[in-house]
Amino acid sequence: MWLLVASVLLGALRAGSAKLTLTGPDVVEKNDCNETVILPCYVTDLRKNNETVMFVTWRKEGKIIFSFRGGKNEFYRDGDFSSAKLLSRADLTKGVASLVLTTRQATVGNYSCEVTESNTEGDTKMELRQSSVVSCGDENATPKEECGSWFLLVERAIIISLLCIVIILCAAQLTVIALKYDIESQRKVCIIVAVVILAVVAGVGTALFVQDGYTALNQAGLGLIVVPAVVLVPLQYFMFGIVFDSLPHTTLALIGLKILGYIIAVVGFALCVPACPPLHASVLIAGLAIMATASLLSLVYVFIMGSRMKDHPRPGKAVEEPLNDAKGVMLE
């Protein structure tokens, strides 16, 4: 009799001390292209498969950041992890206790998943790391092609540098024209204001664009870098108009080259915005490079034309002035 009671008690103790088997990766990596991060946690030996007897707890560095008590249908979220949620509540009874966080709130560190079912429990631990690269294309491809976060550091540096070069060349061209030719005060003010506004907008766009991540702010920053650059096209036309009464074919070709560069840059921008990593960043860079080249050639052309003309008369005025002098003599 006592032997029977002892075996029953021993069996109860063993049942009470039984552990659930939880599986998950030791290391999880997040990258800037993902809007959310999934921390995997799976229970392989649930017995009752009943949500009402389940209790899920997620911790970071020992601090509870999320919990779900099935019996009372209660959720708890730490204030710094307000986006935390189960990957699929419907699949919880199948052993899926994975947690979903936004990339911004999923800070790197050590996380643990604990699941209790009635009087049995188990846990698993993992480390969340920041990854600087993501794989592109087919995940089964060998070897995997590695791409950076939304834009690689070198790509961001090239884009910002090209924009700065275009603005600097435009300002230099305006300076050369102001020194060599008479410019109406109103037109001069308009051109200067346009350059300053473009520089300020580009500065704001750069500040947003250089931030880490793939967010609406990054996209807006790139848009402020590329789209307002259209101002450079009419600005170039007005600056040529100050130098020449009728625009030579060379100036029209330079304006056309700048328009072509802008169109390519906008197309590249449109292709980059919905993709992370941006597989067509080279198109955007090529467009800005063409615009920078057109600006450089325009500056050289204006400088050379001005240097060739004695006393720097505007082309076309050299003919008009002798005619005016002749008219004055005839009137006398």
- What confidence score (pLDDT) does residue 187 get? 75
Identify the helix (H) or strand (E) that includes residue 42.
strand 42-43
* Mean pLDDT score, 307-315: 50
* pLDDT tens-digit map of 161-180: 999 999 999 889 988 888 77
pTM for this predicted structure: 0.62
Tally the C-alpha atoms within 13 A of residue 19's C-alpha that lie toward its C-beta: 7
Domain coordinates of the chain in residue numbers?
20-131, 153-312
| Record: fold of 20-131 | Immunoglobulin-like (2.60.40)
* pLDDT tens-digit map of 6-52: 444 444 444 444 688 999 999 998 877 777 899 999 999 888 889 99
Look up tokens 């002798």; give the residue: 322
- What confidence score (pLDDT) does residue 131 get? 73
- What confidence score (pLDDT) does residue 326 get? 42
* Mean pLDDT score, 251-261: 94
* pLDDT tens-digit map of 64-123: 999 999 888 899 999 999 999 999 999 999 999 999 999 889 999 999 999 999 889 999
Residues contacting 246, CB < 8 A, separation 6+: 316
Q: Return mean pLDDT, the chain.
A: 81
Beta strands in 61-186 (DSSP E): 63-69, 74-77, 85-86, 99-102, 109-117, 120-130, 134-136, 145-147
